[in-house]
Structure 1
Amino acid sequence: MERVPEVAVVGAGIVGLCTAYALAERGTSARVYESGVPGHGQSSGQSRIFRHAHDDARLVEFTRQGRAVWDEWADRLGAELVSRDGVVALGGPVPGRLRILRETGGISVRSVDSAELHARMPLLADYAGPAMLDEDGGAIRTRVAVESLADVLGDAVVTDEVFSLAPTGRGTVEVLSTVGRAEYSAAVVCAGLGTARLARNMGLSLPVQPAAHVRLTFQVVGAPPERVACLQDSSGDFGEVGVYAAPYPGNSRYAVGLSQTVEVREDGSFADSDALKGLNDRARAYVSRALPGLDPEPVEYLHCWVTGLPWSEDGMAVWEADRIFFVAGHNLFKQAPRLGRALAGAAMAEGLEENLRPAERLGRPR
């Protein structure tokens, strides 16, 4: 008889894949349920930012620890998972975040003047306001990360949709899916929009705020720069106060997104049907003003769902009920290996890290 894996992981986005890989590191088998293509939901796209800057010192430390895991896994998998080009941040929040980063320690970060800013970010228009460089940050190679983890996990990732999870009363968790029923010692649910639904079946009401996000990709004008940093722009100098941007591998393309999202009703429809197009237009206008090194006509459009928590755009938490763990939050790609190891430990009955409990409001500005 086929041996059933010990832990069920629902969702093969980056958090689910990292959780399953972290379990495998420790000799614990997992089955990863995914109804679509691994890494093509909220984890889609070619590039994300790995940045240490947050308004909660606890999250800065969590992120610092996570950078080491990214590096460890990159060595083991034989692939660059995070670039070494750094992240530049602009705007009023810079002094406060710089202070938090320095107090945390172990992070190479400093203020930069306009000359060094231009050297690190040659695509950017002239800017003379507060700026800092996070040298240990960089662009996450998202496709490489997803594909490398999925390849290693192999047949542990199955194409199947989970309909419900429930404790059996025998110390195990029952999973009912499209094609069957199985029991596991524990389950980890990181299914994006589906997480709140599955949690509700367990009597948990997760305060997840679903929304839609826009990210456009632009071609670099002329030869790609040998080095180009990621960008976090909160300055407002170029017409927007929440911009995130990261280069593709090879630096010939640059993905630009706004932190603003489009509100989604509970039935999945948009509260404002024109808002998504409006964000597209604003991103294009921002590039025309702020990034003259890019052709302002997008070459790719990415629209994806996001699941935020009310206390912070970087907030994250894990709810626990009868050996089932429900993960929610936004901007989790950079946290995924560190979070995956924490979830693996919890699934192996070592206890959930205190900062990840909902009452801790991890990511909340302090």
Structure 2
Amino acid sequence: MATRTDVAVIGAGIVGLATAYSLQRAGVSVTVYEAGEPGGGQSAGDSRIFRHAHADPRLARFAVRSRGLWREWGDDLGAELVSLDGAVALGPGVDEKIDALAEVDGVDARRIDAAELAERLPILASHDGPAMLDAGGGSIHASIVVERLVSRLGDALVRDHVLTVRPTGAGTVEIRTGTRRAEHAYAVVCAGRGTASLAHGLGLSLPIRNAAHVRVSFDVAGAAPSSLATLQDSSGAFGEAAVYAAASVDRTRYGVGIAEEVPVNDDGRSVDPDALQGLAERTVAYVRRALPGLDPAPVGHVHCWVTTLPWGDDGVAVWEHENVALVAGHNLFKQAPALGGVLAELAAGGALPDELRPSARLGHA
């Protein structure tokens, strides 16, 4: 069968969409295969946090590259994709984060007092502990990003599930889906939870750990504030050791999550529903204590699988097998523009940067 397009992208989450968008902008033909709703898996929800602070300075520099591309994408797609409200972090590690970011060019991060904290995050309860502002951070308008990228893809998006990815030995990659067989010059697999099984078909064993997570959305009580920064709270001051939150595009909603995962059951395919419910209830309880500017009655839930690598929650890597690349990691939404660009260059004949090879352990905590 003749090659349908130059590159196959398996998975229309944010990394797959970013890869396909970068390929299209470079004039490379692409087909994106997605079994479900584009952006409906690990990329689901209205918003995500953009932040520069990472334990691995290489990943912080990668975030700087992505932040510039988010601006470029916004110009091209005709929408603000990352808010200008900044990213707030609370907790004893603030000074360490500021010191680390001082070594990264292009980042404006500084400690803020209680008065500025209240201005940047008016829905937060009174807090006079250590606080940091990453001025270049903010809420990624995730649903808008996905909508605009899917619109750009047009007919390049194929709604079908991929069963196998196989190099043919003749310079192409065979893709078998539920209803078709196609060949492409290259394939990029960014299928989230499905990546490991497709890799297994290639003889690769990827060290991906699967779990589940819940994020809860709340209405802002009263009028939308003029500023609503994202939040990372590791202070413990409000009863939880690790919480994150981001705002909707109009600042009328705030999505809040406790940074814990629900383990997969022994069957490898399911999770305990009571554990998910317990995590959601803890999130509501946190909102009542920490975020009095929100109505504590949930207005939305996102339940999703998460995939992490053994060297850290922000870990990311790309595996190569002949003319197939497979990417895995967690917390990748903010890094998608730079990561998608790298994958597009690789699919078009470029080389994989050493920092993204598994041996580099990018995102090591």
TM bin (shorter chain): over 0.9
CA distance in 1, matches of 2:317, 2:135: 27
**CA offset digits 1:298-344 (Å, max 9, x no partner):** 11111111111111111111111011111111111111111000000
TM-fit CA distance, 1:295: 1.1
- The equivalent of 1:314 in structure 2 is 314
CA distance in 2, matches of 1:73, 1:56: 25
Amino acid at match of 1:59: L
TM-score normalised according to structure 1 size:
0.97
TM-fit CA distance, 1:80: 0.9
Number of residue pairs matched by the alignment = 364
- The equivalent of 1:67 in structure 2 is 67
Question: What SS does the corresponding residue of 1:296 show, helix, strand or coil?
Answer: strand
CA distance in 1, matches of 2:27, 2:300: 40
- The equivalent of 2:43 in structure 1 is 43
User: Is 1:106 the counterpart of 2:106 in the alignment?
Assistant: yes
CA distance in 2, matches of 1:331, 1:3: 33
TM-fit CA distance, 1:226: 1.1
CA distance in 2, matches of 1:267, 1:292: 39
CA distance in 2, matches of 1:232, 1:225: 19
CA distance in 2, matches of 1:276, 1:269: 11
Q: Identity rate of aligned residues, in percent?
A: 56
- Whether the 8 Å CA contact 2:3–2:184 is kept in 1: the answer is no
- The equivalent of 1:124 in structure 2 is 124
- The equivalent of 2:278 in structure 1 is 278
- The equivalent of 1:333 in structure 2 is 333
- Whether the 8 Å CA contact 2:217–2:256 is kept in 1: the answer is yes
TM-fit CA distance, 1:98: 1.1
Amino acid at match of 2:218: F
TM-fit CA distance, 1:273: 4.5
- The equivalent of 1:213 in structure 2 is 213
TM-fit CA distance, 1:2: 8.4
TM-score normalised according to structure 2 size:
0.98
TM-fit CA distance, 1:10: 0.2
CA distance in 2, matches of 1:356, 1:106: 21
Q: Measured at CA, do residues 14 and 71 of structure 1 come closer, stay the same or move farther in structure 2, by a change above 3 Å? A: same
TM-fit CA distance, 1:208: 0.8
TM-fit CA distance, 1:274: 2.1
CA distance in 2, matches of 1:99, 1:105: 12
- The equivalent of 1:268 in structure 2 is 269
CA distance in 2, matches of 1:233, 1:191: 30
Amino acid at match of 2:57: A
**CA offset digits 1:25-78 (Å, max 9, x no partner):** 111011000111111111110011111111000000000100000100100111
CA distance in 2, matches of 1:73, 1:248: 19
The list of structure 1 runs, each at least 4 consecutive aligned residues, that deviate by more than 3 angstroms after superposition, is none
TM-fit CA distance, 1:267: 2.5
